[in-house]
Amino acid sequence: MTGGDDAPDATDATDRRTLLKGIGLGAVGTGAVGTGVLYRDRLGGEAAHAASAAALVSEDDVTHRATGGRWAAASTWEESDGPGDGANVQVPAETTVTVDHEDDARLRTIRVDGTLRFEPTAVAELAVDTIVVMSTGRLEIGSADEPVAGGADGGSASITFIDRGPIDTDWDRDRLSRGLLALEGATVRMHGGETTSFTALAEPPRRGESTLRLAEPPAGWRSGDTLVVAGVNPDRNEDERVTVAGVDGTTVELEDSLEYDHVPPRTDLRTYVAHLERPIRLESGTEQIPRRGHVMFMTGDVDVRGVEFHELGRTDKSRPVTNPDNGVPPKGVEPNPKARYACHFHRNGTDTDGEPAVVAGCVARGSPGWGFVNHRSYVHFTNNVSHRVFGSGFVAEVGAETGRFAGNFALRSRGTGRLPDHRQFHEDSEGAIDDFGHGGYGFWFQGPAVAVEDNVAAGHRHFGFVYWTRAKPDASVPAGEIGGVIGNRANLPLEHVDGQPELKRSDRVDDGKVPSSFVAFRSFRNNTVFASGGGLDISRHQFGNHHDRVAEYSVVEGFTAYNVGGLTSEWGSRYIPNRGGGQGGANGISIRYSANVVLRNVRLIAGDGDARGVGVNRNHAPINVRLESGEITGWTVGVRAPPRGTCPVRDVAFNNWLDIQTVDGMDRRWTPPQRIEIEGCSFADGGRGRVHLGTHLEEGPYALFRPDGAVTLEGERLYTAAQERSFEPYPTDADLAVVEPGEDALDDLTDAEPAALVGESNRALYEEYGISAGGELVPDSAGPDLDIVGGYRADASGDPRSDADGLVARVTSGRGSISQQGRLERGEPLYVYDESAYTTVPGKYAGLECVRPEREDHDGERRSFLGLTLRAPATVYVAYDAEVEPPAWLTDWTDTGDTLGTEDGLRRIYAREFDAGTAWLGGCPNTHRMYTPFLERA
C-alpha cells in the first residue's frame, strides 16, 4: 500500500486514530510492533511515519518513568535515581514533569504521553537524541501568559539533539530519529518573549558607521544580541553580522563599525536588519549533516513563537533525496531522506475550519535543506526569519497546502545554482525525481492556495520567490499521472478554491478535488526581493487552462525587486536570463508554461550590479499575461512580451536599453493569437528604442504565414521587418529544410507547396498565393521610427535613421532575438547579457564595427539566420569556434588564417564581401557558442 490519496492518509483523522489504535499506537500509545519497515508496508503516508516514530519510544524500552514533579527531583521518578546518559524516559499520560535546571545527562529518548514543560523563568536545558510527543502528550516551553522572556533575568530554554554517532538503522530503519517528533493529536506550545524578528532601516547605513536607525523601536533587543544587516549588492555577499552595544528607542549602537554600504539604488527603497537569537533554542549537537536533528510536527495543534531552530535539518538539498515518491533515486550514495527539515509540518490536513498551526517570530538558521516547511498542512508562518538555509528558506511542498506566509524575511540561501526545473521527474532518469527547491531561493511554493503577503527575500543565489505549481503527487503513482508542464492529478479540495466557478464544475474535478496546477493564487501581494539572482519565477501555473475571464486570473500585486543580479552556476559560470527558457539569472519576473496572470503595480529596478537582464521574461509558452501599471527600469530589456494570448502592457513607466521586445511567427495552432496592446506607458531615453519587433523564422511555414494577432502602440499597428514587401521568408532551399515543411503543412492558408516559397518575396507570395509573413504586408504609409527596432509604425514617414553612422542599419535574427552593436576591442562584451569578452584582437581588426548577438541563438541551423542590413558595400567577418568543423554555409567564405581570442574560446576568422543590402549569415549548429560578426567598409 502506498501513501498519498490512495492510502489511509486520505481518510479523516478519526479513521487514522482508529487504525493506529488497532495496532497498539492509539490514544494510550501502548506497545510497538516491529520496525518502521513493517509499518510502512502496512500503512501509508503520515500514518507510516507516525507508526515508525512511535516505535522509536516503545514502552518496553523505557528505563525511567516519571510520576510527576520537577525533573531534577529524585521523587519524580519510579526508579531510585533520575535519568542519566543513554536513558529512555517516559512522561506517562496525566503526568506533568517540569524542567527548571540545566541537565547534563545525554538522554537517548523522551516519550511524552503526559506533559513535559519548561519553567519559563529558569535557565532550563535538556540534551537528548529523540523526543516523541505522543497523541495524548503536551510539550510546553513557556505560554502566552508567561513566555520565556530571555535576557539576564528572564529565563531561557534549550533542547540539544545530541550526536550519538550515525543514525542507528537497526533501531530506526526509516531514519526518523534525532529530533522532535510530535504525533497527530499532540499539543506543542513554545512561547518565547516578544522579539522584533526584522525591521526596515529608516536610514541606509554606510561603511564606517556604527549606528543603525530603525523605522520603529525594536522589541526584545539587548546588548550582546546578534543581528545581520542585509547586504544590497547582488554580486557578492555583503551581509554583516554585528553585535548590539545598546538600544535607545529607534537607535541601535553596534560594537563595531560596518564594512560595507547598505544603500539601495533609490531613496524610497528599504534595506533591513534581522535579529538572529531567541529565548527558546532547539539545536543540533553536531555540524555533520547526516547526524543532525530535525523537527517534524505531525499534529496541527502547534503554536510556536520566539524559537530559534539552530543548525537543524539533515535533508541535504545540495544533492537529490534518496527516498523519492517517484522516479529513480541516485545510486551508490549515502542515504539522504527527504522530510528531515528544520521546522516541518508533515501531512496534517488542509482543513481550514479550525485554528491553524502557528509559527511566529522564529528563526531558522543554517539548515542544509529547507527552513520553514508546510507539507499538506494548514499553517500560518508570520514574522519569521530564515538565514543561511540551503535550498529554500520557506516552502509549501506539494501543492495542497493552506494557510499563509506573511511578514517573513528569507535571508541568504546559497543553493545548488541549478535551474528551477532541474530534478523534475523524468521516467527512468536517475535523480530526476521531482526534488525541487534546491537552487537557492527565499520562498518556494509548489501550491497556490497559501496567502503570500508582505514578505522580504534578500541575498539568494537565485529567485527570491518561486511558484512551481504543477500538482505534485504525494505518493507513488504511475509515471503517466505526473505530467511535465500540466499536472492533472487532483490534490486540492474544492473548498480551497475561490472565485473559479468554471474550474469547480469542470471535468478536472475528481473526488471533490482539483489539480492545484489550475488554481489561482490566493494572494501574492506586497512582497520584495533584493540582492538576489532573480525576483519571481512562475512556472507550470494554470497551463492548459487559458481563458478570458480576467477576474479569475492569478494576481501579482505590489511586487518589488531591485538590485537583481546574475545566477552563478555550480561550475562558476553565469546563466544568462534566457537560459533554459527564461530560467537564468538577472530576471525580475519570469513566467514559464503558465497562463492567466496579472502583474499589477510591479516595481522592477535592476539597480546596482554587473548584470543587466530582463525585467519581465518568459519562455515560448505563456498565454494571457497582463502587465498593468508599475515601473520597470535599468534592464537590458524591460519586458519580453508573451508570445500567445491577450497580453496588454498598460500604464508602465519604462527606462531600459530596450523597453518592450515582441516576437511574431510562433506556432500558435492550438493557442490564442498574440495580441499586445501597449497603452498609456511612459518611455524615458534609456537606450535603443521603445519596442523591438522580431520574428521567429524557424518555427515553420504555417506559423510564419498564418494571420495571427497584432502589436499596437497607442492603438497604432506595428509591423515587423519580416512583413516588408521585399522580404524573402525562405531565401534558400536549406532555410526551408531546417523547419521540416512536411510536418508544418500550410493547411488552409494556401494550396501552394512549401517548395514554391523558396526565393520569393512577400509581395510575390501575396500576389500569387495570398500569403505573406505575418499574414499582412507592411502598408505603403508605414515607415521606421526611432521608437521601433526591427519593424515599422503605421502612418510613419521617412527614415530618421537614414543618415545614422555605421554600416549596419538593421540586424534580423532567425529567432527574433535582439542584438547590440559596438566596436571590436579587447575587454568589450561578446554577447548580449553575457559576461564573456574579447581577450585578444589582431591589430588590423581593432575598432571595427561588430554585432553582439544573443547567445540563445547558438543552436540555430537556418541557412539565412542572421541578416545584417548594410548601408554600403562591406567586408563581413565571422569569428567562428575554432574547435569545431565550420558549418556548410561558411564554405564559400575565405579562411583568413587569423584568430580572435575570447573568454568563450578561440575563434577562427572567415571573410566575405557583400554589396549594400542584406548580408545573410547562417546559423550556429554543432557548437555551444554563437559566432562573432564584425565588418569594415569595402
The pLDDT tens digits of the residues spanning 670-713 come to: 889 999 999 999 999 766 679 999 999 998 888 899 888 899 99
**Mean of the pLDDT values across residues 143-170?**
94
Q: Where are the beta strands (DSSP E) in 826-916?
A: 838-840, 849-853, 866-870, 874-881, 894-902, 905-914
333 and 389 in contact (C-beta within 8 Å)? no
**Mean of the pLDDT values across residues 300-314?**
98
State residue 23's pLDDT score.
Answer: 32
Lowest mean per-residue pLDDT among 193-197, 392-396, 786-790: 786-790
Whole-angstrom CA distances from 736 to 581, 698, 730, 895 are 25, 9, 6, 27
508 and 488 in contact (C-beta within 8 Å)? yes
Cα–Cα distance, 756 to 774 (Å, whole number): 18
**Mean of the pLDDT values across residues 437-446?**
98
Whole-angstrom CA distances from 341 to 52, 157, 293, 842 are 17, 21, 9, 56
Does the pLDDT value for residue 294 go beyond 80? yes
Cα–Cα distance, 144 to 27 (Å, whole number): 27
Buried b (16+ CB within 10 A) or exposed e, 669-678: eebbbbbbbb
Does the pLDDT value for residue 17 go beyond 80? no
Is 483 or 591 the better-scoring residue by pLDDT?
591
Per-residue pLDDT band at 119 (split at 50, 70, 90):
very high
Indicate the residue type of 73.
A
**Mean of the pLDDT values across residues 869-888?**
95
178 and 288 in contact (C-beta within 8 Å)? no
Cα–Cα distance, 777 to 721 (Å, whole number): 10
Cα–Cα distance, 837 to 901 (Å, whole number): 9
Buried b (16+ CB within 10 A) or exposed e, 51-83: bbbbbbbbbeebbbbbebeebeeeebbeeeebb
Indicate the residue type of 10.
A
| pLDDT per position as a tens digit, 55-81 | 999 999 999 999 999 999 999 999 878
Residues 6+ apart with CB under 8 A from 545: 503, 508, 517, 518, 595, 596
159 and 282 in contact (C-beta within 8 Å)? yes
The owner of cell 533525496 is 321
Residues 6+ apart with CB under 8 A from 157: 99, 118, 120, 124, 125, 141, 142, 148, 279, 280, 281
- Collapsing DSSP states into helix, strand and coil, what is residue 322? coil
Closest listed residue to residue 244, CA positions, set 279, 208, 263, 220: 220
Cα–Cα distance, 771 to 758 (Å, whole number): 13
State residue 685's pLDDT score.
Answer: 78
Does the pLDDT value for residue 3 go beyond 50? no
Residues 6+ apart with CB under 8 A from 605: 265, 266, 269, 560, 561, 562, 563, 631, 633, 634
State residue 270's pLDDT score.
Answer: 94
Closest listed residue to residue 515, CA positions, set 527, 524, 507: 507
Q: Where are the beta strands (DSSP E) in 187-279?
A: 187-191, 198-200, 211-213, 226-229, 240-248, 251-254, 272-275
State residue 707's pLDDT score.
Answer: 83
Whole-angstrom CA distances from 112 to 88, 115, 130, 388 are 11, 6, 11, 32
Indicate the residue type of 744.
D
The neighbour count for residue 780, using CB atoms within 10 Å, is 7
State residue 783's pLDDT score.
Answer: 81
Cα–Cα distance, 771 to 752 (Å, whole number): 10
Average pLDDT, the chain: 91
Is 32 or 477 the better-scoring residue by pLDDT?
477
- Collapsing DSSP states into helix, strand and coil, what is residue 380? strand
630 and 600 in contact (C-beta within 8 Å)? yes
Closest listed residue to residue 822, CA positions, set 838, 844, 801: 838
- Measured in Å, how far apart are the chain's first and last C-alpha atoms? 77
Return the percentage of the chain with pLDDT > 70, whole number: 93
State residue 29's pLDDT score.
Answer: 36
Count CA atoms closer than 13 A to 90's CA, side-chain side.
22
**Mean of the pLDDT values across residues 9-37?**
36
**Mean of the pLDDT values across residues 805-825?**
92
How big is the chain, counted in residues?
938
Cα–Cα distance, 646 to 917 (Å, whole number): 36
The neighbour count for residue 96, using CB atoms within 10 Å, is 15
Does the pLDDT value for residue 667 go beyond 90? no
Cα–Cα distance, 320 to 329 (Å, whole number): 7
**Beta pairing, strands 294-297 & 251-254:** unpaired
How buried is residue 629: exposed, middle or buried, by Cβ count under 10 Å (0-12/13-18/19+)? Answer: middle
| pLDDT per position as a tens digit, 394-429 | 999 999 999 999 999 999 999 999 999 999 999 999
826 and 800 in contact (C-beta within 8 Å)? no
The owner of cell 563581413 is 876
State residue 320's pLDDT score.
Answer: 97
Residues 6+ apart with CB under 8 A from 722: 664, 665, 695, 697, 704, 729, 773, 774, 812
State residue 266's pLDDT score.
Answer: 94
Cα–Cα distance, 8 to 195 (Å, whole number): 41
Closest listed residue to residue 92, CA positions, set 62, 125, 126, 52: 62
Does the pLDDT value for residue 741 go beyond 80? no
State residue 154's pLDDT score.
Answer: 86
Lowest mean per-residue pLDDT among 159-163, 487-491, 588-592: 487-491
Closest listed residue to residue 344, CA positions, set 327, 321, 362: 362
**Mean of the pLDDT values across residues 217-246?**
97
The neighbour count for residue 788, using CB atoms within 10 Å, is 23
Return the percentage of the chain with pLDDT > 90, whole number: 82
Per-residue pLDDT band at 192 (split at 50, 70, 90):
very high
Does the pLDDT value for residue 791 go beyond 50? yes
Does the pLDDT value for residue 39 go beyond 70? no
- Collapsing DSSP states into helix, strand and coil, what is residue 14? helix
Whole-angstrom CA distances from 76 to 98, 116, 158, 497, 865 are 10, 12, 21, 51, 83
Does the pLDDT value for residue 13 go beyond 60? no
Tell me the H-state helices in 506-604. Answer: none
Does the pLDDT value for residue 630 go beyond 60? yes
Backbone angles phi, psi at 50, to 5 degrees: -60, -45
469 and 398 in contact (C-beta within 8 Å)? no
Backbone angles phi, psi at 856, to 5 degrees: -65, -15
Backbone angles phi, psi at 753, to 5 degrees: -80, 145
488 and 515 in contact (C-beta within 8 Å)? yes
Tell me the H-state helices in 694-831. Answer: 701-705, 733-738, 762-769
State residue 796's pLDDT score.
Answer: 65
- Grid cell for residue 766: 501575396
